[in-house]
Amino acid sequence: MIDAREIAGEPVLTIDRVTVVGGGAWGTALALAAARAGRDTVLVVRDAAVAEAINTRRENPARLPGLVLDPPIHATTDLATIAGADAVILAVPAQATRSAAEVLAPFLSPGTPVVLAAKGIERASGALLADVLAEAAPGAVAAVLSGPSFAVDVARGLPTAVTIACADGAIADALAAALASLAFRPYASTDVVGVEVGGALKNVLAIACGIVVGRGLGASAQAALTARAFAEMGRLAAALGGRPETVTGLSGLGDLVLTASSRQSRNFSCGIALGEGRPLSDHGPLVEGALTAPVAAALATTLGVELPITAAVAAVVEGRLSIDAAIEGLLARPLKRE
């Protein structure tokens, strides 16, 4: 139940029951985070075999092999459990957000916070995911969770800090408090756009940084590209109404530093493979940066925002430009003041 309580003299909302939708590594990790924070947590999955493994063997062997789910979490395939939730975390791929939201919408009580845990921009519409949720489940209150976080680290209980944004600051505070524990530290924000842009664009830019590594261009080039990539993130966020300080925080710079430097990152690893001459298909369908790059580049063109690195990644993943030509094009850009 959501109710009002007094903490340090200030009225706040509390969230006791959390339902996580999505049985992948990230959904499982976030369900563990909620359970460790003391919430009554349910994980909704599509596959009955996954639910059985989580409930009886305390593991998700397909997504988090070898990791004991501690504390135990309850998994189900029954979407009706959403109806009793104070908050829902939607942990499905970015491009599946609309269809998933449409399925869960009939079970949501009006005003229920739905936390979007994916990072991307919808390809079909060019819309940020909070806008997609508003169309697909108009009774929900959109929130976004983003920041430097690998699912396996969160699942293992390693220290992690993220940002949770909602236009309603009281709900953002309540969600942060509901998920907070000694190992998982959420920071509340009201800048939904800034948080979403940081999360979406860092995947694209991590591919670019991976290409630099895969091509063997050196640490200096990687550092320079990361800095210029961060500038692109800030430009797009500002054009869409995000705040500059958001992009310099966890969901922007923090996530970019992690994703653009670690081989645990699917996007960075994909970039390395591309730089080494391997095809994009080797990395499967869930490289969010490859899906987001073309729509982010198109959005930037519409807004009149310069995103040369993003545009180069889009051209490479769509097969319109070779990696060598993309690198040459970036290096040949006119000199300008920083």
Task: Please report where in the chains the tokens 């929130």 appear, as a residue.
Answer: 143
- Write down the catalytic residue from 202, 215, 266, 283: 202
Whole-angstrom distance, CA of residue 224 vs CA of residue 312: 16
Length of the chain: 338
Amino acid at 126: G
- Distance, in Å, from the CA atom of 312 to the CA atom of 315, rounded to the nearest integer, reads 5
CA atoms within 13 A on the CB side of 316: 33
Measured N-to-C along each axis, helices 219-239 and 192-214 cross at an angle, to the nearest 10 degrees, of: 160
Q: For residues 271 and 202, what is the distance between their CA atoms, to the nearest angstrom?
A: 13
Using DSSP bridges, classify how beta strands 17-21 and 184-189 pair: parallel, antiparallel or unpaired. Answer: unpaired
CA distances for 85 relative to 52, 209, 283, angstroms: 22, 40, 35
The question of whether 336 is a catalytic residue gets the answer no
Given the DSSP bridges, would you call strands 10-14 and 3-7 parallel, antiparallel or unpaired? antiparallel
Other C-beta atoms lying within 10 Å of the C-beta of residue 191: 25
CA dihedral 167, 168, 173, 175 (to 10 degrees): -80
- Of 150, 90, 98, the C-alpha closest to 117 is 90
Dihedral sign of CA atoms 99, 280, 63, 152 in order: negative
Catalytic residues: 202
